[in-house]
Amino acid sequence: MAEFGREAEIGIIGSILIDNGAVAPARDVLKAEDFYSEANRVIYSAMLSLADDSMPINAATIAMRIGDSRAFDEAGGVQFLLECERRLPSACNVPRFAEIVRADSLRRKIVAFGQRLEAVGQSPMENPDACIATLGDELVALADGNRAARSVTLSESMGRVCSAIVNGEKKRFVRSGFTDLDALMNGFY
């Protein structure tokens, strides 16, 4: 059975609802495809889209952004979002929740690769070398995708910083301890 950290996925959604600033550490680690639950993927995608548009992230804006979605409705719709928010006392655990969701996603991808490898190995092959090359390419793509999910380009990071400064989001920054530098840059992102 596929790994599914339901509580961690709900933790991500609830954390972002409690504190919209929690979207930054979550997006540094997670892509929507990392969520096992289709409804949670749809919700997280809407959250990222709202953040990109500098819109507030709450149950109402998410529901409007999603529109008609069978998965969202089956998960409980707005009531599900409100329950996610109620379950958490704060958003401070979002980095840990994100790591759990990412690790579960990676395990599912490894299992899927293993199943594909087994299927190819048990099927008649005209060109085993081509199969090995293709599977090797898939494994490299899996490893590269994992590394890419954890890295952010300087341009992306600076775009987020500029957007946050323009929107007055000072709470997401860590103070450097140098008063003049903090006054100029609002600390480190």
pLDDT at 130 over 70: yes
Quick one: which of 166, 189, 175 has its CA closest to 28?
189
Rounded to 10 degrees, what is the CA torsion of 89, 94, 100, 103? Answer: 170
> How do residues 52-90 score in pLDDT, each as one tens digit?
999 999 999 999 999 877 878 888 889 999 998 888 888
Give the span between the Cα atoms of 44 and 50, in whole angstroms. Answer: 10
Rg over alpha carbons for the chain, rounded to the nearest Å, is 20
Count of CB atoms within 10 A of residue 125's CB? 12
**What single letter denotes the amino acid at residue 155?**
S
Give residue 169's Cα distance to chain centre: 20
State mean pLDDT over 119-130: 79
